[in-house]
Amino acid sequence: MKLQAIVAAITIGWAMTSMAAEPIKIGVSGPFTGGSAPMGVSMRDGVKLAVAEINAKGGVLGRQIQLVERDEEAKNERGVQVAQELINKEKVVATVGFINTGVALASQRFYEEAKIPVINNVATGTAVTKQFTDQPDNYVFRNAANDTIQSSMIVDQAIVKQKFTKVAIMADTTNYGQLGRADLEKALAAKGITAVASEKFNLKDVDMTAQLLRAKQAGAQVILTYSYGPELAQLANGMQKLGWKVPMIGSWTLSMSNFIDNAGKNGEGAKMPQTFFQDSTTPKRKAFVDSYLKAYNPPAGRIPSPVSAAQGYDSVYLLAAAIKQAGSTDGPAVRAALESLKEKVDGVVTTYDKPFTHDDHEAIKPGMAVFGQVSNGRVVAAQ
């Protein structure tokens, strides 16, 4: 009897200490291979950088953060598998990530059901944070410039600043492309303009002649784009093939390295909304870029997607602040803390002052994004 008590006491004591030291598991879901990989890899590396910094300072609630990274290959069905694995097998406290709007929309319901917060740090589809607004509590947050913000910026740049009147829309057939096209058309309608051509193409299409000719014949002065890097490069190269050159203004994917590299000189001058530039001047941003380059040494000293890296980095700090304020890793408590963050979170994109409320889950507000432009193979602030 006495022996049993001792054994029990030791076991409990042991379990307690191992509990105290147990790390906080955070899931990272993104495409680390394929056409969206520049964004996915940069986001993951930004996340890792933030976690390393936090852990070096003693972690959160006295516990270290442990990342569980999964490649969902930008495929909706893989995203669903990853979500279930992270929730049920890995028992993550929260997940950051999602690059592709389609993957986010397919995977998020598992987090909503499990009451586990998700911070979208890259996916931009307007619907992403609106998926569960009919539920009492919405567990989906975002710190990326959504497509409503981006499309109205794009239209503003084309119609108001550059005074174009005839615009063509080029969007791929994915969720991202088609939801973006709808947002662009809405933003154009608000300015009383209808696109002279609105064309579709599939991912992996090798010839864009028909689409571009339709835009050319309709007299388009500018093309507005919503697609991913390789296909955007096909568009830019296709214009070169036809000997037709009009400006490209599009969603932020025009900053992807696989657009810039594959389009080469045909991609010069393309404009897109950005929340972050690699060539930044503020000390905080510069320190972030330096430590990224030092830790991951990307080719040619260029972060594949600086915006994704910065937003990935910030998403971890937002989450860490919420866990600290909640004093626990319980899903509903962390969600409540995210919706009422007391402490200002000093990120590299901006300083987040009460970024979320119960009804507003968008940390990036209109005005926080500015225009970038491709120049000599890099993205710089547009003048």
Partner 1 sequence: MEILLQLIISGASLGMIYAIIAFGYQLTFATSGTLNFGQGEALMLGALVGLSLAGSVHGGPYLNYWLMIPLVVIFGCFQGAFVEWIAVRPAIKIKSEFGWIMSTIALSIIFKNVAENIWGKDDLTFPSPLSDEPFTIFGANVQPMQVVVVVGALLMMAAVEIFNRKSIYGKAVVATSNDRDAAGLMGINTSAVITFSYALSSATAAFAGVLVAPLTLTGATMGASLGLKAFAVAIIGGLTSGVGAIVGGLILGVAEELTGYYVASGYKEVPGLVLLLLVLAIKPAGLFGKVAIKKV
Binding site for partner 1 (CB under 8 A): 33-35, 37, 173, 199-202, 204, 206-207, 209-211, 213-214, 217, 230, 233-234, 237, 240-243, 258, 261-262, 264
How many Å apart are CA 351 and CA 349, to the nearest integer?
7
* Shortest spacing between CB 313 and partner 1, in angstroms: 23
- 259 with 294: CB under 8 angstroms? no
The dihedral through the CA atoms of 127, 128, 129, 131 has a sign that is positive
Instruction: Tell me whether residue 202 or residue 351 sits nearer to partner 1 (CB atom).
Output: 202
* Shortest spacing between CB 310 and partner 1, in angstroms: 22
How many Å apart are CA 198 and CA 271, to the nearest integer?
19
Cβ contacts of 226 within 8 Å, gap of 6 or more:
169, 170, 171, 172, 176, 177, 180, 181, 184, 250, 251, 253
Instruction: Tell me whether residue 174 or residue 350 sits nearer to partner 1 (CB atom).
Output: 174
Instruction: Tell me whether residue 203 or residue 368 sits nearer to partner 1 (CB atom).
Output: 203
How many Å apart are CA 332 and CA 338, to the nearest integer?
10
Instruction: Tell me whether residue 29 or residue 138 sits nearer to partner 1 (CB atom).
Output: 29
* Shortest spacing between CB 175 and partner 1, in angstroms: 15
Instruction: Tell me whether residue 192 or residue 243 sits nearer to partner 1 (CB atom).
Output: 243
* Shortest spacing between CB 154 and partner 1, in angstroms: 20
Instruction: Tell me whether residue 285 or residue 378 sits nearer to partner 1 (CB atom).
Output: 378
For 189, 265, 297, 359, the CA distances from 321, given in Å and listed in that order, are 40, 43, 29, 19
* Shortest spacing between CB 241 and partner 1, in angstroms: 5
Q: For the residues of 20-87, what is the DSSP string, one character each? A: HHPPEEEEEEE--SSTTHHHHHHHHHHHHHHHHHHHHTT-BTTB-EEEEEEE-TT-HHHHHHHHHIII
Instruction: Tell me whether residue 152 or residue 262 sits nearer to partner 1 (CB atom).
Output: 262
* Shortest spacing between CB 264 and partner 1, in angstroms: 7
* Shortest spacing between CB 315 and partner 1, in angstroms: 24
For residue 166, which of 213, 216, 221, 212 has the smallest C-alpha distance? 221
